[in-house]
Amino acid sequence: MVSTPVKAAGAAVVVLGAAAAGWIGASHVMATKTEAAFRAFAARPATETGMEITKLEHATGLLSAKGSFLVRPVIAGSAIPPEDMPVGEVTYTLSHLLLPGSAARISWSVSPTGEADKNLTELFGKRLALSGAGTVGYKGEVKTDYGLPELKANKDGNSAAIAASGGSLETDGKAVRLTLTFPSTEVRGDGEAIDIKGLSVTGDYSDIALGLGTGTVALDKFSSTEAQIEGLKYTAETVQTGPLIDIRVGTRLKKASASGQTLSDAALDLHIGGMELATLKRMSDLMEKSDFLRNITAEEDEAFRKDLRAVINQGFTVSIPVLTGTVSGDQINGSVAGKMAVTLGKAASATGPVSLATLLSSSGEAAVSSKDLPKEQVQMAVATGFAVATPDGLKADYSLKDGVLTVNTLPLAAEQVKMGLLTADETLNALLNQPLSESGLFSDDLYDDEADYPDEEELEEETPPETDPVPVKPKK
């Protein structure tokens, strides 16, 4: 007769065995779902994913998978033909055993192909590869780090040294957080030298498809034979408020020197606000899938022009709230500060005619402080009314409202300004009222890099001899 403890132990083994089988079975189901999702992504149009995936090979085992594919970036409207875009070879392995912290673990690597692969391998003595490892969560979220090894080359007096670089990426398919850092890069040869220190890229987007979030590019130092830059930072932020978006772009520069002049403590901010996100998204999607409107149907043409008119008539603002900097050197020493704003008011109807003459307004001001300004230019600027003298230099302001332009409180060319705005209205409305193909704005000739342009020899040909002017008979 089997004792109770033995029975209990046997029952435990059965339970554990069933749990293990269920665990492994669930892991295999996850592997199958992962493969299906991956193949579905690879089959999506390149205009949606931004990449063309070909030669996909994926082999799924009980608890793991491995595969490879070729990937080519697809950028709508790029000046580089798709066939000339670089192609990368991706290899990866997946472990699908379900764990408390992740549904799967992934290791991957991307390397160039073709001539690029051959040339880079010859240059650095080894195959270039961006590689990383990460996890896949139960809700599809992906976390991975990535990096490039140290690269060095030295040939015929030319050298390059790139320190190991890397970063991280987190995404749930909608939100994206990323970092990328290049500690140092040195290139020397042909009497020139470039030294780059601390180049970094960061991004934190709540919706990457809509571009909502913040991205930053920063550079600690750049030195070359002729110039130097320190403390450069560029930030772009897009925020949605209700149906509208605000775009803020800021640039900061600690110091830049070239040709005996130094620019320091420079700042430039740009703000665009008041545009409807849904309308801009429709326009952007159409431009992306139609190669910048060169391949569209008549219905899409009409819809795009309707949306463009709505964006203009909805009204928006463009401003530069901050513009500052200090210049010092051999030729001039001083500082500049300014700001400006352009506002297009909301029209009575989103479908009515565009009227810049009545809805456009703008204002701005600028001040230059320097004791080194050429005296003749200062006198001319003051005499013409375009600037006002100050104890430190010059200042100026302007305002445009109701079709009237004033500079330093004085009206300027009133009739010419009004005629210019009316002409702009006439041109804009004519473009919006006719198919884009008839306007010529998006014809292939505008994007054709191989169009027939006169070469230098043709430009240098002798001009034809001048003919004697035909005398004009005096009026009777």
pLDDT value of position 44: 78
pLDDT value of position 97: 73
**How many C-beta neighbours within 10 Å does residue 368 have?**
21
pLDDT value of position 39: 79
> Greater confidence, 30 or 46?
46
Looking at the structure of the chain, the number of domains it has is 2
Q: How confident is the model at residue 371 (pLDDT cuts 50, 70, 90)?
A: confident
Q: Assess whether pLDDT exceeds 50 at residue 16.
A: no
Q: Assess whether pLDDT exceeds 60 at residue 374.
A: yes
The tokens of 175 are what?
A: 């939100």
Say if 464 falls within a structural domain.
no
Inter-residue contact 285 to 276 (CB < 8 Å): no
Q: Do residues 271 and 395 both lie within one domain?
A: yes
| Cα Rg, the chain, nearest whole Å | 31
Q: What percent of the chain has pLDDT over 70?
A: 83
The dihedral region occupied by 146, where left means phi > 0, alpha psi between -120 and 50, and beta the remainder, is beta
Inter-residue contact 76 to 291 (CB < 8 Å): yes
Q: How confident is the model at residue 394 (pLDDT cuts 50, 70, 90)?
A: very high
Give me the long-range contacts of 141-146 (CB less than 8 A, separation at least 24). 141/170, 141/171, 141/172, 141/173, 142/106, 142/169, 142/170, 142/171, 142/172, 143/168, 143/169, 143/170, 144/106, 144/108, 144/168, 144/169, 145/169
Q: Each residue of 417-466: pLDDT tens digit?
A: 889 999 999 999 999 999 988 876 665 554 454 445 455 455 445 444 44
Q: Do residues 290 and 437 both lie within one domain?
A: yes
Q: Which of 52-61, 344-353, 464-473 has the highest mean pLDDT?
A: 344-353
**DSSP per residue, 374-415:** -HHHHHHHHHTTS-EEETTEEEEEEEEETTEEEETTEE--HH
pLDDT value of position 3: 53
> Greater confidence, 442 or 284?
284
Q: Do residues 282 and 411 both lie within one domain?
A: yes
CA distance 476 to 471: 15
Q: Each residue of 65-120: pLDDT tens digit?
A: 889 999 988 776 666 777 788 899 999 998 877 777 777 888 999 999 999 899 88
Inter-residue contact 289 to 47 (CB < 8 Å): yes
Say if 325 falls within a structural domain.
yes
- Strand segments, DSSP code E, in 61-191 are 64-73, 88-95, 104-112, 130-136, 142-148, 151-155, 158-162, 165-171, 176-189
Q: Assess whether pLDDT exceeds 90 at residue 7.
A: no
Query: Which run of H or E residues covers position 277?
Result: helix 277-289
CA of residue 249 relative to chain centroid, distance: 11
Q: Each residue of 111-141: pLDDT tens digit?
A: 999 998 998 898 888 889 999 999 988 887 8
Say if 318 falls within a structural domain.
yes
Mean pLDDT on 3-18: 42
Inter-residue contact 247 to 212 (CB < 8 Å): no
Q: Assess whether pLDDT exceeds 70 at residue 157.
A: yes
User: Is 121 strand, coil or helix?
Assistant: helix
Mean pLDDT on 319-323: 96
Mean pLDDT on 329-335: 84
**How many C-beta neighbours within 10 Å does residue 232 have?**
19
Say if 31 falls within a structural domain.
yes
Say if 230 falls within a structural domain.
no
Of 149, 176, 206, the residue at which a domain comes to its end is 149
The model carries a pTM of 0.79
Say if 275 falls within a structural domain.
yes
CA distance 461 to 476: 43
Q: Which domain holds residue 141?
A: 25-149
Say if 3 falls within a structural domain.
no
CA distance 193 to 227: 10
φ, ψ of residue 341 to 5 degrees: the values are -150, 140
88 exposed, middle or buried (CB, 10 Å; 0-12, 13-18, 19+)? buried
Average pLDDT, the chain: 84
Q: Do residues 284 and 433 both lie within one domain?
A: yes
Going from the C-alpha of 161 to that of each of 153, 179, 187, the distances in angstroms are: 7, 22, 7
Mean pLDDT on 37-54: 77
**First-to-final CA distance of the chain:** 142
Q: Each residue of 165-177: pLDDT tens digit?
A: 999 999 888 899 9
Q: Where are the alpha helices (DSSP H) in 160-276?
A: none
Say if 472 falls within a structural domain.
no
CA distance 84 to 445: 20
Q: Assess whether pLDDT exceeds 70 at residue 238.
A: yes
